[in-house]
Chain A
Amino acid sequence: MSSAWQAVWAIVKKDILAELRTKETLSMMLIFVLLAVFIFNFAFDLRVENVREVAPGVMWVAFVFAGVLGLNRSFIQEADKGCLDGLLMTPVERSVIYFGKMLGNLIFMLVVDAIALPVFSVLLNLALVRWDIALIVVLGTLGFAGVGTLFSAMTANTRAREVMLPLLLFPVALPLVLAAVKATAGVLDGAGLREVANWLNLLIGYDVAFLTISYLTFDYVVES
């Protein structure tokens, strides 16, 4: 058990180290998140009167699109540089590789979210840096990274792979994002976490379902 976790941690550390060397993926995701808010601002004409209604949607769409950018690079980079084959040859279970890559993606996304939230708070003039919103962000991002990592390993091996990932991922993850948006909106409207418990339960249910399915099927995705 402990050796499996050590192996998972080794993969996470490898991805973080590689990222820290270039900081490519993170900066791409960050710039994209900000860009998304600017675009929404032009599209919806965000103002003080309507910002509370639109903000949760804007926030989550930005997070999700930035997340796909990160996910897309996660396995394509490995596959293009031949690292995936090396990774698969290591004497560890495939699920270890899955959880390693998944945690790496999750950490990148959460870092981006954590930097973006205060910026959003300033730009949208809303207090978004709160522990209840942080909880919703973690729950939403966990499921998204969970199923996203599975699909990202899949699309790295298909034609038109950069396009295929969002096509596969968005419809499957949409209910999860919907629940996250609804929960965020509820909390912003002054409801307590208890009052949005329905949505939180749906989020947790999705997280569990996605992680379980990914854990069980990842073997078949990386099988050559």
Chain B
Amino acid sequence: MNNPYLPWEAEVVERVQESASIVTLRIRFTDPAIRRRYRFDVGQFNMVYLYGVGEIPVSIVSDPQDEQLLDHIVRAIGRVTRALVTLKQGDRLGIRGPYGRGWPLHEAVGKDVVLITGGLGCAPVMSVINFIVKRREHFGKLTILQGVKHANDLIWRTQYERWAMLPNTQVLLAADVAGPQWQYLVGKATILLDRAVLDATNSIAMMCGPEIMMQACVTELLQRGFNPESLWLSMERNMQCAVKHCGHCQYGPHFVCQNGPVFQYPEIDELFGHKGF
């Protein structure tokens, strides 16, 4: 019988320290048969289990066509993540997945893509950037907008600089609080939108970050003529089972683990921005 709760064993193949508190774990299943049949979409997540500690959802940031390794970016923030970032090469863990609905990349083909992230190196959007950059010719103008609280929070600075050099690509970075080496914008993520040149009629916007930031961005984009259907948001909620049983991620008509985490704005506009849901 297929038990959706049972993890498969996996091992850490490589560990990359991205910043003081952020680590990328490059993982693969120990059973080659699972490795062969496992497939995921960009924006989906796995339940990552650490022996004796617990299980949490973590988005998959590697390329879906890379059959070797599954990359998970973990920031030490809670009980399980603080333990996960201490894993070393060769350490074992449990993985089950993939779960949820990912980003609408088929719909984005041929359109301008606006990617907005707030907060610390928002992993779910990193996967989209990586995906599009590898298949650049299938998409129109690419606009990457990243806002961070403090200049020191920006990781992958060289990657952003590399992306900025790509044809037909605009990269804008902003920090609420600038530091000595900060040559980018200062302010909230929404000031990035003021500087971005966007074609509202042929764009698709994908965003991830604090809800208050996404709310401000949605308002701004709608004002600029974006169709509500062209706005996609990655929502974060408490998830314990990832198979829509545990109830923690219920959000209006949705279970975020299954109907999300990526939503088209009209799917969630009834509750979006209401504190307590």
User: Do A and B originate from a single complex?
Assistant: no
